[in-house]
Amino acid sequence: MKAYLLFAEHRYFGESRPFGNDSFKNGNHYYLTAEQALADYAVLLRYYKTKVLNCPDCPVIAFGGSYGGMLAAWMRMKFPNIIDGALAASAPILWFKELVPGELFYSVATWDFGNTSSVPDCAKLIKHTFNRLDSYINSTGNQYQVKFEI
């Protein structure tokens, strides 16, 4: 298979900081959006296909997992003229507060561990562990109050 793999770094991650060392100061996060990342990738792909590969019509498949999978799926949806397909693994593209109750993740994870683990009472053990972590963290006077709920 004759193919190229192009990995683009997301703004604000790694070395891609639009304001250098000031990138994480208040007010400098306005370019840290999924929409901006998608636009960056679209520009990069057009440039790479045209100027580097000299193949503006070469097919492109985006792929990723979790947030990267979300970006891959959104790239295919937003730029079907640039992305010919997408493989989005573990990509909760519709998992937004307005659409899905936040506690649903815990229900799904509890069901998953309870029904797929060979350890008896796996889900109960995990819940017990999170409750103990919750108690420990919040009793140490830690400035970060954490509440785990499963």
Q: Rounded to whole angstroms, how far apart are CA atoms 74 and 35? A: 9
143 DSSP assignment: S
Residues 6 or more apart in contact with residue 112 via CB below 8 angstroms: none
Residues 6 or more apart in contact with residue 103 via CB below 8 angstroms: 149
Positions of the chain with pLDDT under 50: 150
Residues 6 or more apart in contact with residue 72 via CB below 8 angstroms: 62, 63, 64, 86, 87, 88, 91
The predicted structure's pLDDT at residue 150: 47
Q: 3-class secondary structure for 80-137?
A: CCCCCEEEEECCCCCCCCCCCCCCHHHHHHHHHHHHHCCCCCHHHHHHHHHHHHHHHH
The predicted structure's pLDDT at residue 146: 52
Q: Rounded to whole angstroms, how far apart are CA atoms 39 and 120? A: 48
Q: Express each pLDDT in 92-135 by its tens digit.
A: 888 777 787 777 777 777 788 788 878 888 888 888 887 887 78
